[in-house]
Structure 1
Amino acid sequence: MSLRSLPAALGLLAALAAPAAAHVVLDQSEAPAGSYVRLAFRVGHGCAGAATTAIRVNLPPELPSARPMPHPGWTLTIGGGAEAADHSGHGAHHGAAHHAAPPPGEIAWTGGPLGDAFYDEFVLFIRTPAEAGRVLAFPVVQECEGGAVARWVEQAPRPGERVANPAPLLRVVERR
């Protein structure tokens, strides 16, 4: 390798290594208040080289509703939420009240595995709270082969501060 190609090779190496430093993150950082939104939890690596076998997302209680998307090759488990809410006049079908999907306490995708060298997304369809100004945390536990676990559950005590294992966050903003 010549000295001229060394910077390009180092740049490529850094770009390929970047996903290994990634956390479980959301595909967007904000969403309008009172809206239906597709959220994807991006998993960029396993646990210290081990393949991912489960993604467990704890949902904020402020969510009016949440529905997970099945993921081929994975088992979907929904649990721990409140009862369905009657939304009379909202989405009524043929004169009957529409019952929104309650926000489950946890949604888990188990199976896979998702190798450490690969990336994937796990998707929810949510309704955001009606009030803007909130920051919703979605703590995630990532389980991997061999019993390894990564907990993406921390929230910074003050805006702008960093934590070692950040929970994915979604800021609820005014509708435009």
Structure 2
Amino acid sequence: MARFALIISAIAILASTSQAHVGITPPTGKPGQSLNASFHVPHGCNGSATTSITVSVPDTVVTILPAQVTNWNLTVAYRPLDKPMQVAGQTINQTVSNFTWAGGNLPNDQFQDFPMQITLPQVDLSNQSNVTLYFPTIQTW
């Protein structure tokens, strides 16, 4: 039996010369599935604390809700949709383009999960077993 899934991946960029290590858990889901997931930051970098995480949302994702995280400030930016869509019985004209958790302090020797609720896009997997969604992520310290 073939496994059909969307692979969810954070492409992490550190706001300096080192490489970030942000990941997403769980890393897979089924097309159209609504799931709770988290951006997992395993530590700060180069001995410094992480002070913000900015996530860009792929255009194919229409429904995503980042969660408030204690001691972090959440800001959300929106983009207009090309055409209105029906989601859960409501017409929406815009969706999330990116969001940032900032103002917190994640020491180099600790980890933090930044939760979200996402509905994965409907994609045709009849000719391919996987499709990867990339969430470019900037980890600042």
Q: Would the TM-score normalized by the shorter structure come out above 0.5?
A: yes
- Tell me: higher relative CO, structure 1 or 2? Use CA pairs within 8 A at least 6 residues apart: 2
**What aligned pairs does 1:113-124 form with structure 2 within 5 A after superposition?**
113-124=105-116
Q: RMSD value over aligned CA atoms?
A: 2.2
1:58-103, CA deviations, whole angstroms, 9 ceiling, x for partnerless residues? 111110211110111111010142249431xx533xxxxx245943
1:80–1:64 distance in 2 versus 1, CA, 3 Å: closer
1:101–1:73 distance in 2 versus 1, CA, 3 Å: farther
Q: Which structure has the larger Rg over C-alpha atoms?
A: 1
2:21 is the counterpart of 1:29:
no
1:6-31, CA deviations, whole angstroms, 9 ceiling, x for partnerless residues? xxxxxxxxxxxxxxx98111112210
1:93-131, CA deviations, whole angstroms, 9 ceiling, x for partnerless residues? xxxxx2459431111000111111111100111111111
The structure in which a higher percent of residues are strand is 2
Unpaired runs of 5+ in structure 2? 1-18
TM-score, length-normalised on structure 2? 0.74
Q: Distance in 2 between the 1:41 and 1:101 partners?
A: 26
1:131-160, CA deviations, whole angstroms, 9 ceiling, x for partnerless residues? 14421001110011xxxxxxxxxxxxxxxx
2:85 is the counterpart of 1:86:
yes
User: Paired residue for 1:136?
Assistant: 133
The 8 Å contact of residues 36 and 118 in structure 2, kept in 1 or not, is answered as yes
Size of the alignment, in residue pairs? 117
1:32–1:52 distance in 2 versus 1, CA, 3 Å: same
TM-score, length-normalised on structure 1? 0.60
Q: Distance in 2 between the 1:33 and 1:125 partners?
A: 14
Q: Which runs of 4+ in 1 moved over 3 A?
A: 83-86, 99-103
Q: 1:73 aligns with which of 64, 71, 74?
A: 71
1:101–1:65 distance in 2 versus 1, CA, 3 Å: farther
State the SS of the aligned residue for 1:105.
Answer: strand
State the SS of the aligned residue for 1:47.
Answer: coil
